[in-house]
A and B are shown apart, each in its own frame.
Chain A
């Protein structure tokens, strides 16, 4: 059974650009959550999608958005990139509900560098 797949693994973008990260959950998992990890703030919850609907949202500006497709794959988009958006972005999938009370399986992350 394939694990959670995140693409790309590494990304370098310029300030002001926008970026899209992808997450393919484990087959059968309907919930996908996104997290941002930085040395200063640690691991912070961005948002969670379940059955193509955003169920929970963390405290991030509107530049951070996401969506989930009918096959449960999810994308996260960050517009107008800032230097502070440089971080390790992780996604997690779980079944059947959100990652809050069930075991979540994490992908290997995407390292985003904004220059």
Chain B
């Protein structure tokens, strides 16, 4: 069965520190997609990144970077030089088959000024 584990329930760091959010997934499918979403206090989820199972290239977008490692079934998300505006709940998600999707429990990130 498919599963997404975000072991870190809550993280607090001081502004400007780097922080990594972990995501470990389980699936027997060879074709799947991984996502990260941000949920700010306003409630709506904001798409951050999508990665398919055949693309293990790491990606950097400004202060955000993602490390996808199939060998360890992990898709970790790093925020460099964190800012208070990064405070939110972050969700990792796995999609497979005919657009089925499951989300991790989320990691609540607090960036302290």
Binding site for B on A (CB under 8 A): 4, 33, 35, 42-45, 48, 55-56, 88, 90, 92, 97-109
Contact between B44 and A101 (Cβ–Cβ < 8 Å)? no
B102–A107 touching, CB < 8 Å = no
Residue of B nearest to A44 (CB): B103
Task: Give how many A-B residue pairs fall within 8 Å (CB-CB).
Answer: 61
* Contact across chains for B42 and A43 when beta carbons are under 8 A apart: no
Whether B105 and A42, one on each chain, are in contact in the complex, defined by CB atoms closer than 8 angstroms, is yes
Chain A residues, Cβ within 8 Å of B103: 35, 42-45
- Can you pick out 25 interface pairs between chain A and chain B where the beta carbons lie within 8 Å of each other? A4-B44, A42-B103, A42-B105, A45-B101, A45-B102, A48-B99, A55-B98, A56-B98, A88-B43, A90-B44, A97-B99, A98-B99, A99-B99, A100-B33, A100-B95, A100-B101, A101-B50, A101-B52, A102-B50, A103-B47, A103-B50, A105-B47, A106-B37, A106-B45, A109-B43
